Amino acid sequence: MKKIFVITFLTLLSLTGFTQTVTNNFENAGGWKYYSNVCWGIGMNNEYEYFNTNVVGGGFTGSKVCQTQNLGEKNICRLESPWTNLAAGNIEFDHAVPSKDGNRKLTVYLVKEDDSKLKILEFTYTDSKSKHASIANNFTGIRKIRWEWTGNDGNSRGQLDNIVIPGTNASDPSHDCEPMAAIIDADGDGVPDTQDEYPNDKYRAYNNFYPATGFGTVAFEDNWPAYGDYDLNDLVMGYKFKIVSNAQHNVVEIFNTMLLRANGAGMENGFGYQLPAVNPGSIRAVTGAGNQSGYTISDNGTETGNPTKATIIVFDKSHQYMNEWNTEKGVPPVPDVQFDIYLEFMKNGVAGAAGTITVSNLNIAQWNPFLVANGQRGREIHLPNYLPTDLADQSLFGTGDDDTQTGKYYKSKTNLPWALDIYGAFDYPAEHMDISQTYLHFGAWVESSGANFKDWYSNTGAGYRDDAKIY
């Protein structure tokens, strides 16, 4: 029964002459600009010599046609098809000079890549009625169809509609509508070698960075829920994420570099971060973190107790890694302490138990860093309006100067934060130097709700900071 169906189907196909075609009825609402971008040689003011065709209303069928400019102003107007891999069959189209005035002729050519051309139709208009053309074609290979209207008197225009060309599109609209070139892709992942950052690795394709260049900075006050001195140097971390993805847009791995830059605090503070869009089960392994005593860590390296959002503990006690505060003027600084944390999402194309996540859905800018104050796991301090982890001690909310409640997190009653995330490098204040008095446009940035002095943390010009207060 199946064999009979297949035979019948194939017979019907051959009887109908089914073949692929390149068509245009000019009905797209985008007009000439749309068709130009999908490689029809059409449009106002483009580079084609004497070229001036447009898409207008009043079509033979549907509502739109391709129409030339007034030939009285130009000696010649033309339209071209995309490069087409021609097949045998009929080239069909409707044409007219609907308000014929003066001498008008339409010539149709097959054009090769070297711009040589072969005339396949010449038609002299004697009236304004629409015509249908059907040109038998036996040529194969890469060609364009070119329609040229010529005339040197009167004021009439040429029109064209309902084009059908036997063959398949061979233009590449992403490369100036040139004929499609063979793609070299050594690992066969679909990303051309010239664009693939891992051309011989089918499991990897791209690196995306956050921040885009250099390091970002998160800076904390650790006295939450009470105010501190707002020197924002109780913990200062530099951070950088390198996100490796594959050709299917999925995250393969993240290389996260963390720099412990300062711990201007008497307390032994820990640091971690949550990836709110990542199920812990999507991570196969985490390596490179520091000591995590006092924390419960799963087999895959994420912290337990946060079942829906992957949580990474970077270290437990800052002073174990940095014995100087790196905030006191006159005390020589010690080098940053670097943590190279590796998060494996996929291995040889196999994802973690909870499946894949795309780079866009990861949305790394939403990473949720937090300080853990003085070894008290529940006393975590986040950026303003960032959610607590499942292990936060919510009994601390609303105490002291804190005003955390539903819809408002880690802000005071006057909407002040206990942490800041700076997109870029940040020269933090020295010990006990209030950030508002160190960065002189910080207050204006805050009180304008971010409208003014978006670059307050830079040293863009004179008057941006009091250098004497910077560590």
Partner 1 sequence: MTSLKSIKLIGFVLLFITFSLSSCQKDVPPAPDTTAGTTTELKVAADFDWKTSREITLNVIGLKEVNPAINNTFYVNSSAGVTYYKDLLTMNQDYTIKFAVPSTETTLVFNYGSKTKTVEITSSSLTYDYITE
Contacting residues toward partner 1, per CB under 8 A: 28, 30, 33-34, 37-38, 168-169, 172-176, 190-192, 195, 205-206, 208-213, 227, 230, 245, 247, 249, 359-361, 363-366, 383-385, 408, 414-417, 420-424, 434-437, 440-444, 446-447, 449-450, 454-455, 457, 463, 465-466, 468
* Cα-based distances in Å from 83 to 167, 322, 444: 10, 65, 58
Alpha-carbon gap, residue 270 to 291, rounded angstroms: 10
CB 66 within 8 A of CB 54: yes
Residues 6 or more apart whose CB falls under 8 angstroms from that of 248 comprise 356
**What is the smallest separation between the CB atom of 459 and partner 1, expressed in angstroms?**
12
CB 69 within 8 A of CB 161: no
CB 388 within 8 A of CB 382: yes
- Which CB, 221 or 303, lies closer to partner 1? 221
**What is the smallest separation between the CB atom of 65 and partner 1, expressed in angstroms?**
18
The residue written with tokens 């010539």 in the block is: 107
Sign of the CA dihedral 24, 28, 34, 37?
Answer: negative
- Which CB, 34 or 48, lies closer to partner 1? 34
Three-state DSSP at 135 gives strand
Alpha-carbon gap, residue 106 to 103, rounded angstroms: 11
**What is the smallest separation between the CB atom of 245 and partner 1, expressed in angstroms?**
7
- Which CB, 245 or 274, lies closer to partner 1? 245
**What is the smallest separation between the CB atom of 183 and partner 1, expressed in angstroms?**
8
CB 440 within 8 A of CB 446: no
- Which CB, 76 or 359, lies closer to partner 1? 359
- Which CB, 356 or 436, lies closer to partner 1? 436
Alpha-carbon gap, residue 211 to 364, rounded angstroms: 9
- Which CB, 75 or 385, lies closer to partner 1? 385
Q: How many CB atoms lie within 10 A of CB 138?
A: 8
The residue written with tokens 């709700």 in the block is: 449
**What is the smallest separation between the CB atom of 363 and partner 1, expressed in angstroms?**
5
CB 278 within 8 A of CB 357: yes
**What is the smallest separation between the CB atom of 423 and partner 1, expressed in angstroms?**
4
Sign of the CA dihedral 126, 131, 137, 143?
Answer: positive
CB 159 within 8 A of CB 150: no
- Which CB, 125 or 241, lies closer to partner 1? 241
- Which CB, 303 or 421, lies closer to partner 1? 421
**What is the smallest separation between the CB atom of 427 and partner 1, expressed in angstroms?**
14
**What is the smallest separation between the CB atom of 78 and partner 1, expressed in angstroms?**
20
